[in-house]
Amino acid sequence: MKLPEKYVHEIKALLGEEYGEYEKCLEGRSACGLRVNNAKISTEEFLKLTPFSLTPVPWVENGFYYNEEDALTKHPHYHAGLYYIQEPSAMIPASRLPVEHGDKVLDLCAAPGGKATELAAKLGGTGLLVANDISNSRAKGLLKNLEMAGHRNILVTSEAPKQLLNYFPEYFDKILVDAPCSGEGMFRRDPSMIKSYEEKGPEIYAPLQQEILSAAVKMLKPGGMLLYSTCTFSTLENEKNIQKVLDDNPEMEIADIRKGDGFSDGIAGPGMDERLSRCLRIWPHRAGGEGHFAALLLKAGSAGTSKSSRSREGASSQGRAEDSFLAFAEDIPWLREHDGKIDVRDENLYLIPGPLCDISIRGLRFLRTGLLLGTQKKGRFEPSQALAMCLRQEEYPNCVSLAGDSIEARKYLKGETVQLPGMYSGWVLVCADGYPLGWAKGMQSALKNKYYPGWRMQ
Q: Which residues are catalytic?
A: 231
3-state secondary structure of 434: coil
Where does 150-270 have alpha helices with state H?
A: 161-167, 193-199, 202-219, 239-248
> What is the enclosing helix (H) or strand (E) of 20?
helix 19-25
CA triple 390-395-401, angle to 5 deg: 85
Q: How far apart (Å, rounded) are the C-alpha atoms in residues 39 and 250?
A: 37
Give, in order, the Cα–Cα distances in Å from 116 to each of 78, 135, 263, 298: 17, 16, 23, 20
> What is the enclosing helix (H) or strand (E) of 118?
helix 114-123
Q: Give the N- to C-terminal CA distance of the chain in Å, as an integer.
A: 34
Where does 329-438 have alpha helices with state H?
A: 333-336, 385-390, 407-413
Q: How far apart (Å, rounded) are the C-alpha atoms in residues 198 and 6?
A: 9
CA 141, 219, 150, 36 dihedral sign is: positive
Provide the 10 A C-beta neighbour count for residue 13. Answer: 10
Q: How far apart (Å, rounded) are the C-alpha atoms in residues 220 and 226?
A: 7
- Cβ neighbours for 326, distance < 8 A, ≥ 6 positions apart: none
3-state secondary structure of 211: helix
3-state secondary structure of 401: strand
